[in-house]
Structure 1
Amino acid sequence: MNSVIIYDMKKVGLIYDDIFLAHETPQWHPECKERLIAIMDALKSSAIWDKLIHIKPRKAEFKDIEAVHLHDYIERL
């Protein structure tokens, strides 16, 4: 007999901390403090906010970074 699991709703996690606002990018880059503030304000004022799973970030280990970036790229940084 096969079991079928039906989920009523998918869960979405949001990893955020105000320390993210200190991330500096070139002036022309779309990833900026103001953009992040606007996104967070929009989420907080919507019904979505209470449905999110709020996750505090942790310091990434080297293996975490290597999982998404080439070793040579990391070494250049």
Structure 2
Amino acid sequence: DGHQADDFPAYIVILLLGHLLVPLMIEVNAALAIPIGWQAVLWPTLAAILGLAMIQPAKGAVLAFQWSRRMHGFA
């Protein structure tokens, strides 16, 4: 299979998760008094679930971009 996205989808997901979760964490901590133990479970779990949900669409977007530009085996 000549279609490769390499690590770019993972970089996209990490960038998006950081921009989504950090402001969310700040707002939740400002509004609610969640104990640190619960947060130690909540945020990594949420990050893992969102990361797994976002990785395939990100890879699809990268491959679609490559296809639209006739790159990497899409000649």
Q: Which has the higher contact order (CA 8 A, sep 6+)?
A: 2
TM-score of the two chains, using structure 2 as the length reference? 0.27
Higher share of residues assigned strand: 1
